[in-house]
A and B are shown apart, each in its own frame.
Chain A
Amino acid sequence: MKWFDYSAPRTLDEALDTYASHPHARLLAGGTDLLVQMRAGRKETDLVIDTKRIPELNELHCNGALTLGAAVPCCRIYEDAAVKSAFPALAAVASIIGGIQIQGRASIGGNLCNAAPSADSIPLLIALGATARIVYKGGERSVPVEDFCTAPGQNILQPGELLVSIQIPKPEPHSGSHYLRFIPRNEMDIAVAGAGVAVTLNGGTITAARIALASVAPTPLFVKAAGDALVGQPATEESVNKAALLAKDAAKPISDMRGTADYRRHLCAVLTRRALRAAIVQAQEA
């Protein structure tokens, strides 16, 4: 790795000041993407700002809604009883990213900023209606997660802007959510395709639904039409199938060593269908 300096600010203000005066700095959370990319020469910087000592980025607070600090490692998410009961699908996603060693470091905020099309957490965040809280010197803004990634490895953050936390609204009563991916191994792999879904029921009728896909477009893909098509429909196999086909139609995958475009499109339908079934069962039991 090329030489860089290191700074570990203790407050958000200090971090913003440092970042404002070093716009080419790189922000470090778990480092499980950044350090790999810097070692490979794909990213360079003269300053690494470690965000793990900033209180706001370490906050994990669930009171129905969830505030998830951008540097909170995955292990804290699935070990938190309140998060596990309010957002079981999020706890499950945190437990399939990398192995135990990676989960001790890697954060969902980092997964989002890294903006990989295959990121496991992003489709679920989109389905849950999450927003990114972005702070810069002198202000802040909030962006829906579906608008955060702009291209493979690219996001909307401007130099000087810091992702502080991810905010997930409190789910309506009788809601359920689920993320499913396909990988050829059992663990430690990158999704060939993935589907994150969230549904809300009123009796047997679906009143809200959001669906997003992984690994089938240059960014995690929000398929609004597929969720919208479920609204007002009975929570039946027929409705689920219709939405799954819409998700499949929306996918724009490429062929690569992990799978062909056709195979990925097929997976989109299968994974969306299965994730919806699981989310509906969860909503019925909630």
Chain B
Amino acid sequence: MQNKVQVHTTINGEEVDFLCEPRQSLLECLRDNLNQTGTKEGCNDGNCGACTVNLDGRIVTSCLVLGVEAEGRQITTIEGIAKGNQLHPLQRAFLEEAALQCGICTPGFIVAAKALLDHEPNPSEDRIRWWLANNLCRCTGYDKIIRAVQKAAAVLQEAKA
């Protein structure tokens, strides 16, 4: 029996119902079924982190999650990081520090880095590098990305003080 499955989930705070084939990854469901194309596909096998989303408070590579597994869960994608027109400090820091060139890795880096800063507002450079080890960038050489995350951490800290 080849029946599509109805999935009820929450994406960026909004309740969503969608139909999918059980073999579709969450990444495919987001991009193809829901037209949320901010989340990128790089390798489609868990190595590059371009498809990183936040699932129930933890970052995962959405190419290695089935869409049907999203049932009843809370998902945050890159589309949920800015508040309306106001960029998140991480997004601003990536722009200001030129932490992207082609940009395909950027949504994954930002979703991943946000999860770090949500729990550890003041991570060391070493910690940031380890945390982002599952995110690959073929353009920037990483230094600018690390600097952008450090800058965003500082801005967020200042905003709290």
> Which residue, of A35, A40, A99, A102, has the highest number of chain B Cβ atoms within 10 A?
A99
Give the distance to chain A from B124, nearest Cβ to Cβ, in Å.
15
Task: Name the one of B1, B44, B60 contacting A105, with C-beta atoms under 8 angstroms.
Answer: B60
Given A36-B46, A99-B134, 6 additional A-B pairs, CB 8 A: A3-B22, A50-B66, A98-B134, A101-B46, A104-B55, A104-B58
Which of B21, B58, B63, B134 touches A188 (beta carbons < 8 Å)?
B134
Q: Kindly supply a per-residue 1/0 record for chain A positions 1-24, scoring 1 wherever the CB is within 8 Å of any chain B CB and 0 otherwise.
A: 111111010000000000000000
Q: How far does the Cβ of B142 sit from chain A's closest Cβ, in whole Å?
A: 13
Give the residue among B5, B23, B65 with the most A Cβ atoms within 10 A: B23
Q: Say yes or no: B2 contacts A104, CB within 8 Å.
A: no
Out of B68, B133, B134, name the residue touching A6 (CB < 8 Å).
B68
The residue of chain A having its C-beta at the shortest distance from the C-beta of B108 within the complex is: A101
Distance in angstroms from B68 CB to nearest chain A CB is: 5
B59 interface neighbour in A30, A40, A101, Cβ under 8 Å: A101
Is there contact, CB below 8 Å, between A101 and B134?
yes
**Residues from 17 to 59 in B contacting A, C-beta threshold 8 Å:** 21-23, 25, 44-47, 49, 52, 55, 58-59
Interface size on A, residues (CB 8 A): 29
Evaluate contact between B134 and A32: CB separation under 8 angstroms: no
Establish whether residues A101 and B66, one from each chain, have CB atoms under 8 Å apart when the complex forms.
no
Name the distance in Å between A106's Cβ and chain B's nearest Cβ: 9
The answer on a CB contact under 8 Å between A35 and B66 is yes
CB of B149 within 8 A of chain A?
no
* Interface hits, A148-197 → B, CB 8 Å: 186-188
User: Across the interface, do A39 and B59 meet the contact criterion of CB distance under 8 Å?
Assistant: no
Complex contacts, B63 vs chain A, CB 8 Å: 35
Instruction: Name the prevailing secondary structure of the B interface residues.
Output: mixed
Cβ distance B127 to chain A, nearest Cβ, rounded Å: 11
Q: How many residues of B contact A (CB 8 A)?
A: 33
Check A100 for interface membership: any CB of B closer than 8 A. yes
Residues 65-77 of chain B, each 1 if its beta carbon lies under 8 Å from chain A, else 0 = 1101101000000
A102 to B46, CA, bound (A): 7
A75 at the binding interface (Cβ < 8 Å): yes
B147 to chain A, nearest CB (A): 19
Task: Give chain B residues whose Cβ lies under 8 Å from the Cβ of A234.
Answer: none
**Chain A interface, DSSP helix/strand/loop, else mixed:** loop
What chain A residues lie within 8 Å of B22 (beta carbons)?
Answer: 3-6, 48
- Are A98 and B46 in contact, with the CB atoms below 8 A? yes
Which chain B residues border A6 with CB–CB below 8 Å?
Answer: 5, 22, 66, 68
User: Does A88 have its Cβ within 8 Å of any Cβ on chain B?
Assistant: no
Cβ–Cβ contact A188 & B66, under 8 A = no
Q: Min CB distance, A34 to chain B, in Å?
A: 9
Q: Are B66 and A99 in contact (CB under 8 A)?
A: no
Does the CB pair A31–B21 fall under 8 Å? no
Verify B45–A36 contact, CB threshold 8 A: yes
Give the contacting residue for A101; candidates B2, B49, B68, B69; CB below 8 A: B49
Asked if A101 contacts B52 (CB within 8 A), the reply is yes
Given contacts A5-B1, A99-B134, A101-B134, A39 and B66 within 8 Å (CB-CB)? no
> Which residues of chain B are within 8 angstroms of A36 by Cβ–Cβ distance?
45-46, 64
A5–B22 alpha-carbon span in the complex (Å): 6
Residue interface mask A30-70, B partner, CB < 8 A = 1:
11100110011000000010101000000000000000000
Complex A-B: 17 CB contacts under 8 Å: A2-B23, A4-B23, A28-B66, A31-B66, A32-B46, A35-B66, A40-B45, A99-B135, A100-B112, A101-B52, A101-B59, A104-B55, A104-B58, A104-B59, A104-B60, A105-B61, A105-B65
A39 to B45, CA, bound (A): 8
Taken together as a complex, chains A and B put the C-alpha atoms of A102 and B112 apart, in Å, by: 12
Q: Contact: A1 with B23, CB < 8 Å? A: yes
Report yes or no: A100 in contact with B59, Cβ–Cβ below 8 A: yes
